[in-house]
Amino acid sequence: MASESPQLRKLAIVPAFNESGMVARVIRDIRRAAPGFDIVVIDDGSTDTTAAHAESQGAVVIRHPFNLGIGGAMQSGYKYALRHGYDVAVQIDGDGQHKPEYLPELLAALQTEGDEADMVTGSRFLGEPGYKVPLGRRAGNLIFAVVMSAITRRRITDPTSGFRMTNRRGIELFARDYPHDYPEVEAILMLHAHRLRLHEIHVSMNARGYGKSSIDYPRSAYYMVKVLLAIFIGLFRRRPTAVEASGKDEILGGPPMDTGELQAITDGKR
Amino acid sequence: MRRLAGAASMLVLLIFAAPAPAATVKVAGDQINGLGNAILAAESGDTILIPNGNYLLTQGDVLKEKDLTLRGAGTDLTTITPSGGGDALEDPGVTVDTTSLTVGPAQKDSEEEAAADAAESDESDGIEAQAQIIALVVTFAIFMFVLDLVRRRRLAERYAILWMTAALALLVLSIWTGGLDALADLMGIQEPANAIFIIAFAVGFLLLLNFSAVSSRLGEETKVLAQEVARLDQELRHERSLRGGEPNGFSGRAADPEQAQDKPPVRAE
């Protein structure tokens, strides 16, 4: 894959919910830091002018008729990536938490790792996080990190990071099935279940994302329980794709992708 | 059944107890403590003579232990009122000479026992007619309401079947009270009404679980629909912008020409 680098089609998926104040800047930053990336903004049912701001920057905007949550938004992005034949997709939050200047590093890791990595995550905890991560958040992350490292038998330091780049295999997997809310940890589990490999590189992040985080105390309790339950159940689910199980390929809503390719993927999973 | 067995054992006991030399203890003292004191004072196998009046029967445990015989001065003269459940009177070792005294209704010392007794007395006549009529009317109303919802296409048939089955089951149980009693017996529940509650709770629980599953599926389907709508919306705007008209301010991207090539036609599925 590394050899065909110039032809790689790369997509930045920017989920945004009522981020009219930030989304334009995020798009500009991506353009500046990684000009090779196309940008699709998933406006997840915003009630403000997020879509208009994104459009004014020339990004493709997919507008959900109502709020589906981060999981639904990301999946929309992956579906778009799959339909339009992208080789690489990266998630960058529309709230400005993720720094686009790391995109080249993520891409380089995805390529140099070659067969070793299907997804590269930007981890805050491989080094200096770049902002003061609240203690509760840190503790929660640590629990997930320990659990996920044990399950995947790989060192995972930041399983809750949404700053992640994936290759074609990851795009195909996530377009088919993506966890609903608080999807990051579960997504790792899905990757693992399908034998895709993870790699982490260090990034620093902005605190901006946290200030508006939807995760307050009662919700973080729900978050912990929900994700741990999902992990637990996921362990007993050999093929964790509901879509696949029901055989609804048309769920992608478009023409099926190259069947040989699809076959290779599904074979690889088993 | 139990009473028959009690009577039989009483008979057996009378036969065996008769030859044994037994003293007779007369109850002295007031009607509240007298009988209890006499029971305490008696030796095993003794007969206790109770004079005129309504005596409170206490010390049931001692009575059972000593296998005493209770005799009164006449059914219309002597009454004993068990405090508590009065189960000592049914002990096979205890003989109550019912030709010489009357056993009054037990004094209730707790609501629980009262309820248990009520259940026992209910067993024979089931739910009262009044409650039965109400149950009939209500279940019939539910039935008609469900039918009407189906008629007005507000309720899918498969849910109608579910609810009508539930209403039907209630209807059957409210008419055929013997069935409810049998059911309660089968479940080891004394009070038939409790059996109904438990069954209703279980059925309600399962229905809710089913609805949770249904709504999960609906949520998933809704998500896919929303994503599809968003995709089509984006593609439509994209096509329009390619044709030059930009009605909603969409400004095309640099990579557009290439993308327009491999954009698949929207399939009508």
B78-116 pLDDT per residue, tens: 888 887 656 777 777 787 887 888 887 776 555 555 555
Lowest-confidence segment of A187-191, A254-258, B176-180 by average pLDDT: A254-258
Question: How many beta-carbon pairs below 8 A join chains A and B?
Answer: 68
Inform me whether the pLDDT recorded for A79 exceeds 80. yes
Per-residue pLDDT averaged across A257-263, rounded? 45
Torsional sign, CA B227, B228, B229, B231: positive
Per-residue pLDDT averaged across B53-64, rounded? 79
- Give the C-alpha separation, B114 to B116, whole Å: 5
Confidence category of residue A270, pLDDT binned at 50, 70, 90: very low
Inform me whether the pLDDT recorded for A208 exceeds 80. no
Collect all residues from A whose CB is shorter than 8 A from any CB in B.
Answer: 38, 42, 52, 55-56, 58-66, 68, 72, 75-76, 79-80, 83-85, 180, 242, 250-251, 253-255
Q: What token pair was written down for B258?
A: 């290439």
How far apart, in Å, are the Cα atoms of B20 and each of B23, B47, B236?
10, 11, 107
Q: What is the mean pLDDT of chain A?
A: 81
Reported as type and span, the H/E element at residue A216 is: none
Nearest chain A CA: its distance from B224 CA (Å): 7
Nearest Cα residue to B62 out of B30, B35, B81: B35
Using a CB-CB cut-off of 8 Å, the residues of chain A touching B223 are 68, 72, 75, 180
Nearest chain B CA: its distance from A194 CA (Å): 22
Q: What is the three-class DSSP state of B204?
A: helix
- pLDDT recorded at residue A88: 94
Contacts of A235 (CB under 8 A, 6+ apart): A151, A189
- pLDDT recorded at residue B193: 77
Distance of CA A22 to the CA centre of its chain: 19
Nearest by CB to residue A253, choosing from B228, B249, B250, is: B228
Q: A58, B254: Cβ pair inside 8 Å?
A: yes
- Give the C-alpha separation, A268 to B7, whole Å: 80
Using a CB-CB cut-off of 8 Å, the residues of chain A touching B220 are 242
- Give the C-alpha separation, A174 to A227, whole Å: 17
Confidence category of residue A114, pLDDT binned at 50, 70, 90: low
- Give the C-alpha separation, B143 to B168, whole Å: 8
Any A CB within 8 A of B224 CB: yes
Inform me whether the pLDDT recorded for A267 exceeds 90. no
Query: What count of residues does chain B have?
Result: 269
- pLDDT recorded at residue B85: 59
Using a CB-CB cut-off of 8 Å, the residues of chain A touching B261 are none
Contacts of B161 (CB under 8 A, 6+ apart): none
Q: Hey, of A42, A76, A180, which one would you mutate to test binding to chain B, going by the most B CBs within 10 A of its CB?
A: A76
Q: B234, A38: Cβ pair inside 8 Å?
A: no
Q: A84, B230: Cβ pair inside 8 Å?
A: no
Lowest-confidence segment of A92-96, A141-145, B25-29, B253-257 by average pLDDT: B253-257
Contact A160, A185 (CB under 8 A): yes
Per-residue pLDDT averaged across A189-204, rounded? 89
Nearest chain A CA: its distance from B159 CA (Å): 23
- Give the C-alpha separation, A242 to A149, whole Å: 25
Q: Hey, of B231, B232, B251, B256, which one would you mutate to test binding to chain A, going by the most A CBs within 10 A of its CB?
A: B231
Any A CB within 8 A of B247 CB: no
Confidence category of residue B190, pLDDT binned at 50, 70, 90: confident
Q: What token pair was written down for B215?
A: 């709504």
Lowest-confidence segment of A28-37, A210-219, B120-129, B219-228 by average pLDDT: B120-129
Q: B231, A83: Cβ pair inside 8 Å?
A: yes
Confidence category of residue B41, pLDDT binned at 50, 70, 90: confident
Per-residue pLDDT averaged across B251-256, rounded? 36
Lowest-confidence segment of A241-255, B39-53, B141-155 by average pLDDT: A241-255
Contacts of A111 (CB under 8 A, 6+ apart): A1, A2, A5
Q: B227, A55: Cβ pair inside 8 Å?
A: no
Query: Torsion over CA of A226, A227, A228 and A232, rounded to 10 degrees?
Result: 100
Contact A13, A83 (CB under 8 A): no
Of residues B31 and A70, more confidence is placed in A70
**B9-19 burial, b for 16+ CB within 10 Å, e for fewer?**
ebeebeeebee
Distance of CA A224 to the CA centre of its chain: 19
Q: A83, B230: Cβ pair inside 8 Å?
A: no
Q: What token pair was written down for B242?
A: 């390619």
Using a CB-CB cut-off of 8 Å, the residues of chain B touching A254 are 264, 267
Confidence category of residue A268, pLDDT binned at 50, 70, 90: very low
Q: B226, A62: Cβ pair inside 8 Å?
A: no
- pLDDT recorded at residue A46: 92
- pLDDT recorded at residue A234: 77
